Amino acid sequence: MSMNVPVIDLGLLPSSKDEQGKLKLALCSGGCFQAIGHGISNSFLNKVRGVAEQFFQLLQEEKQKYSRAGYDLVVKQVLDWNTRLFLRVFPEHQRKLNLWPENPDKIREVLHEYSIKLKQLVDLLFKAMAKSLALEENILLQDEQVEGLQFVKDEKWITVPVIPRVLVVNLGDQMQIMSNGIFKSPVHRVVTNTDKLRISVAMFNEVEPEKEIGPVEGLIDENRPRLYMLLSTMNAFRKAKYHLRK
């Protein structure tokens, strides 16, 4: 189902109360919005999409050089299931560029620059939303032509429309826990297209796996009792994945 997805101008966030209000409404209602005014040029976004497409067009033998067995977001640096590549970019001291793909040409430099730019945007969002909350969110560069990302709002699947030069911000389960349920972590999915290839480039921002997370104390009172117990970050992730599978 197609429906309007909130559009937030990040360039206006620091000074515009209207834009700040739109952001809060988006986070409390659906937990997903599209970001404009992010300051990343269209030519650079095209470069990111380009190296991603070139990587997945490589021969399987070449991509297999960067594969790792198992599924562990904490330990593994690189993960390749033929259609997915996972790279740890932060904290920088844990980044292992020697494990990153060397082909296509410049892929390491482009993804490094992309991660730096998105980290700056995440910091901006932290400041905009950190009056009373600690946050976790991920930012997604969608395919510029093929729709596929959907999230649930008001018990309906909403398709995020393709808009050139727009980044999609999707709050995570940790954010919902830490906000004591005020902000929403949307159930989301990606649908396939039988006629067109779809590629997205995402960055996930999470607290360290050994940390415990729970609602911010200032958000717990008699009108809004504690909705979540303290959980380690990894346990919260696993519980969320199990819940989504069910």
Q: Looking at residue 150, what is its pLDDT?
A: 64
d(CA 182, CA 118): 25
CA neighbor of 7 nearest in space, from 30, 18, 21, 23: 23
Say if residue 227's pLDDT is above 80.
Answer: yes
pLDDT tens, position by position, 46-58: 999 999 889 888 8
Task: Pick 129 or 40 by higher pLDDT.
Answer: 40
In the chain, what is the greatest distance between 2 CA atoms, to the nearest angstrom?
A: 59
The pLDDT of 156-172, averaged and rounded, is 80
Alpha-carbon span 95 to 134, nearest angstrom: 24
Q: Can you give the pLDDT at residue 2?
A: 46
pTM of the model: 0.74
pLDDT tens per residue, range 4-24: 788 999 999 888 889 888 988
Q: Give the model's confidence band at 41: pLDDT under 50 very low, under 70 low, under 90 confident, else very high.
A: very high
* CATH class of the domain whose range is 7-245: mainly beta
Distance, in Å, from the CA atom of 169 to the CA atom of 125, rounded to the nearest integer, reads 10
